[in-house]
Amino acid sequence: MELESATGKLNAYFDGRQPEIMGMIERLVNMDSFSEDGEDVNKVGETVSGWMREAGFHTEKIAKPAIDPDESWMEKLGNVFSARTHEREAGPGIVFLGHMDTVFPAGTAAARPFRVEGGRAYGPGVADMKAGVVANMFAARALKDLGLIDVPMTLMFSPDEELGAPTATRVYRERISGARAVICAEPGFPDGGVTTERRGSGHFHMRISGISAHAGRCYEDGASAILELAHKIVALDAFVDAQAQTIVNTGLISGGNSANAVAPWADARIHITFNTVDAAERLVENVRAVAARTFVPRTTTRISGGIRLHPLEYTADVETLFGMAERACAAMGGYTIRRNRALGASEAGFTASVLGIPSICSMGPEGAELHSPSEYLSVDTVLPRCKMIALTAIQAARAFPSTRV
């Protein structure tokens, strides 16, 4: 009966708010927020935190954690932003998780701005996950405005999830440990998919130093860092096992100073995915073994990184949260969900597997063709997903204690 009462209040609250919600999604989609452009990502952070602050939330641009010297590239990333109903001393309570960054470089928003056609919204990051960020914002604000939840709420806005959340997860250790539950609003899958199981991922940065020489006059005096990298890429490919869903992908490479000079340096960014923590640890060991091996004499290699986002495993807590989402949909009527196993990683895997917080993922509005120019959001799922997030949070606040071992 309590759920039905809350549903009625939420229906009345959201009645007529779709234009406002879609307007905020449009605003964020039309803001570039490429993961490695921290200034752009922080502009999104200021936008969302400003909106939450107007609603009476305590907001903060959280200082960046200490960066390892081997990971100096992280210095250019953005900050985690947060919005809380209570002071930090009250604990995080229910956490609404989402990321602000996208995979689209600066200029994409201007080239492909937000548009709606045939019930679908398009634009860079519209589903992954500008719409999910907005859904969390409106769901939490509705719960606060209506007084439907009696525990703290914390919204976390990540700047670097698409890179494996290397700085965000360090912030989460400090800020949301002990939370009752995490609702991650990654995009829902078409036909009601909510993720109850995910693979994990990792990222590496490999830097190779060689010796420069004139490629025509004295090639043998040099030691090519690019050639060394090529050998390592081929060696890493041997660990790909598509059947076991273990993937090693060298996705970015750079190096050299001139076409007629032996390359004195080469860089690579490597991404790995895996199903279990055991598989991840073996894969990390193998990647580091390849990095330690020398194929081209007189070259040296440094490698940093490792597991970033752990797998989201199907546990009793996940099942409990999914049951809450199902009951939310039943109370709403007219919208159903299904369990989904996602191949990609998300921050929900970290909060569940590392922090031990009951977590569920893909609770945001439905979308597909992510990371592509065809990425879209199903507009008719925006309001149902906002309500589902809110109703799931109400139940989770009752079911889970504030501190878990």
403 pLDDT higher than 80: no
Residue in 101, 228, 317, 347 annotated catalytic: 101
For residue 405, name the pLDDT band (cuts at 50, 70, 90). very low
Cis previous bond, 156, omega within 30: no
pLDDT tens per residue, range 264-303: 999 999 999 999 888 999 999 999 999 999 999 999 999 9
Q: Which residue has the higher pLDDT, 397 or 242?
A: 397
> Is 60 a residue of the active site?
no
How many CA atoms, within 13 angstroms, populate the side-chain half-sphere of residue 121?
Answer: 30
> Is 71 a residue of the active site?
no
404 pLDDT higher than 60: no
pLDDT tens per residue, range 345-398: 999 999 999 999 999 999 999 999 999 999 999 999 999 999 999 999 999 999
Residue 98: Cβ-neighbour burial (10 angstroms; 0-12, 13-18, 19+): buried
Task: Write down the pLDDT at residue 262.
Answer: 98
Task: Write down the pLDDT at residue 143.
Answer: 98
- Kindly report the pTM of this predicted structure: 0.90
Cα gap 236→238, rounded to integer Å: 5
pLDDT tens per residue, range 24-64: 999 999 999 999 999 999 999 999 999 999 999 999 999 99
> 3-198+311-399 belongs to which homologous superfamily?
Zn peptidases (3.40.630.10)
Domain boundaries, the chain: 3-198+311-399, 200-309
pLDDT tens per residue, range 110-154: 999 999 999 999 999 999 999 999 999 999 999 999 999 999 999
Q: Identity (one letter) of the amino acid at 191?
A: D
For residue 1, name the pLDDT band (cuts at 50, 70, 90). low
pLDDT tens per residue, range 70-117: 788 899 999 999 999 999 999 999 999 999 999 999 999 999 999 999
Distances (CA, A) of 340 to 39, 130, 314, 343: 34, 21, 11, 10
Task: Write down the pLDDT at residue 263.
Answer: 98
Task: Write down the pLDDT at residue 392.
Answer: 98
pLDDT tens per residue, range 166-224: 999 999 999 999 999 999 999 999 999 999 999 999 999 999 999 999 999 999 999 99
Domain with residues 200-309, CATH architecture: 2-Layer Sandwich (3.30)
Residue in 37, 128, 160, 161 annotated catalytic: 161
Which has the closest alpha carbon to 352: 312, 322, 304, 386? 312
